[in-house]
Amino acid sequence: MVLIATGVFSIAATVFAAKWSFAHTVANGPDSTEVAALAVKLGPDDPQTHYAAAVLYEKTFAPEDMENALSEFERSAALSPNNYFLWLSLGKARERTGDQTGAESALRKALELAPNYSNVQWTLGNALLRQGKTGEGFTEIRKAVSGDPAFTNAAATTAWQLLDGDMMQVRNAIGDSTRLNSAIAILLAGQKRFDEAFEIWNGLPADEKKTTLKEPGETLYKQLAEAKKYRLARRVTAQTGHAENYGDLIGQISNGGFEDVVKTQNAGIFDWRIADGSGPRIGPTEGQKHSGNYSLLISFGAGGKDVRQISQTVAVEPGKSYSLEGFYRADLKTAAMFKWEIANAVDGKVLAATNALASSTDWTALRAEFAIPENTDGVIIRLIQENCAAACQVSGNLWFDDFSLKLK
């Protein structure tokens, strides 16, 4: 009898363990509500099966499944009352169904279990804000931002919207950190308040702009560049370390002597930019140089009709006059005429151009004078080809070196 009882118990225990193990395994990756329901049936006391079922029910968006989802979240948290994540999930689910009081209760339970987790603080803070409890809500959001700076931008946006863009109140609500101020600068730029945005950015610690603030600095730079605010964008990109070799000055050609790397991909707006293509071959060379160690070589080889544009955007002072200066050598066979053109970076209108480049075995100076309109603070310097109704055959080489802008 003892042996029989032991055998029956062993079989029952094995079946139970197998059912629980199968249910838990299925719960880790069910692909339908039917499979999830089966997992719950086989493992009714496993919180994971109820949580997995809840997640699947939510995805259907059917009204009856939303109720099922909430029920499963409730059951999951009840079965594992010390698991903060399950209470966090329950709080979110309750809020989605409109139960703000119940949501707050569940989220406070999650916070009790995980008092230092930024994600919990962030979720509770936002839930409190939606209830109109702004003081308590921003207290939790401040904690979240302090623990995880990744929440800073979202916190700044939330505070900005709730407090009608009052910077003083925003800072009082979520703190006056350098990261927060960088987020405010981005918000101001998004509202086209570019001078205010740069003023805030410019006042941040210089060393942090190249480290912890590098990412928001890149965002601000892109906003300014897209808005064609070239002087401000030039200063921001210099401060974040992208143009440290060229300083913060306006009216400077970047890498005018081609001593630094000339990027063929992912070049910045203030770098030399070379259009895509296989020909002609373009790159720095040690073979010929006017000064320094390198010049830029454009090699057409034995002949070809492809011409890739080379250009650079330069930030300049509105209303001022400049001269473009540089040096070249030319050993070409072609009916085409090459020259450097200066265009308004805002509207594309041509401001000036150099004389056509003549064949020369010696380094020859090139020059063009131009005035900057009052409506722009950027110009585009680019190599162009003329005197061709259609593509011209070109063979030979061009070298360029020591480009600069001079304020007149």
User: pTM to 2 decimals?
Assistant: 0.75
pLDDT, residue 23, reads 45
Give the distance from CA 378 to its chain's centroid: 24
Give the Cβ contact number of residue 193 at 10 Å: 15
Confidence of residue 138 (pLDDT cuts 50, 70, 90): very high
Average of per-residue pLDDT across 125-133: 96
List the one residue out of 166, 183, 173, 171 whose CA is nearest residue 139: 173
Give the distance from CA 317 to its chain's centroid: 28
CA distance 346 to 349: 8
Which residue ranges make up each domain of the chain? Answer: 20-246, 273-407
Higher per-residue confidence, 24 vs 388: 388
Question: Does the CA dihedral 126-131-132-135 come out positive or negative?
Answer: negative
Give the distance from CA 160 to its chain's centroid: 21
Sequence-distant (≥ 6) Cβ neighbours of residue 165 within 8 angstroms? 187, 191
CA dihedral 145, 146, 148, 151 (to 10 degrees): 10
Residue 166: what residue type?
A: D
The answer to whether the bond into 280 is cis (omega within 30° of 0) is yes
CA distance 219 to 198: 12
Asked if residue 20 has pLDDT above 50, the reply is no
Span 87-127, pLDDT tens digits: 999 999 999 999 999 999 999 999 999 999 999 999 999 99
pLDDT, residue 246, reads 46
Q: Are strands 350-353 and 394-407 parallel, antiparallel or unpaired?
A: unpaired
Question: Does the CA dihedral 247-250-256-257 come out positive or negative?
Answer: negative
CA distance 122 to 142: 8
Confidence of residue 242 (pLDDT cuts 50, 70, 90): low
Asked if residue 176 has pLDDT above 50, the reply is yes
**Could you identify the residue written with the tokens 């190249």?**
210
CA distance 9 to 174: 61
| Residues 374, 306 contacting (CB under 8 angstroms) | no
Q: Which CATH architecture has domain 273-407?
A: Sandwich (2.60)
* Range 20-246 has CATH code 3.40.50.720: no
Asked if residue 289 has pLDDT above 90, the reply is yes
Average of per-residue pLDDT across 311-328: 96
pLDDT, residue 404, reads 96
Asked if residue 53 has pLDDT above 90, the reply is no
Give the distance from CA 163 to its chain's centroid: 26
Sequence-distant (≥ 6) Cβ neighbours of residue 145 within 8 angstroms? 118, 151, 152, 155, 174, 175, 177, 179, 180
pLDDT, residue 3, reads 60
Using alpha carbons, list the distances in angstroms from residue 315 to 209, 261, 406: 21, 20, 13
Asked if residue 244 has pLDDT above 70, the reply is no
Span 359-400, pLDDT tens digits: 998 999 999 999 999 999 999 999 998 887 666 788 999 999
Using alpha carbons, list the distances in angstroms from residue 221 to 143, 185, 241, 314, 387: 29, 11, 12, 14, 38
CA distance 207 to 224: 21
Span 180-230, pLDDT tens digits: 999 999 999 999 999 999 999 999 999 999 898 999 999 999 999 999 999
Confidence of residue 35 (pLDDT cuts 50, 70, 90): low
Phi, psi of 348 (to 5 degrees): 80, 0
List the one residue out of 121, 119, 131 whose CA is nearest residue 94: 131
Confidence of residue 27 (pLDDT cuts 50, 70, 90): very low
DSSP conformational letter for 350: E
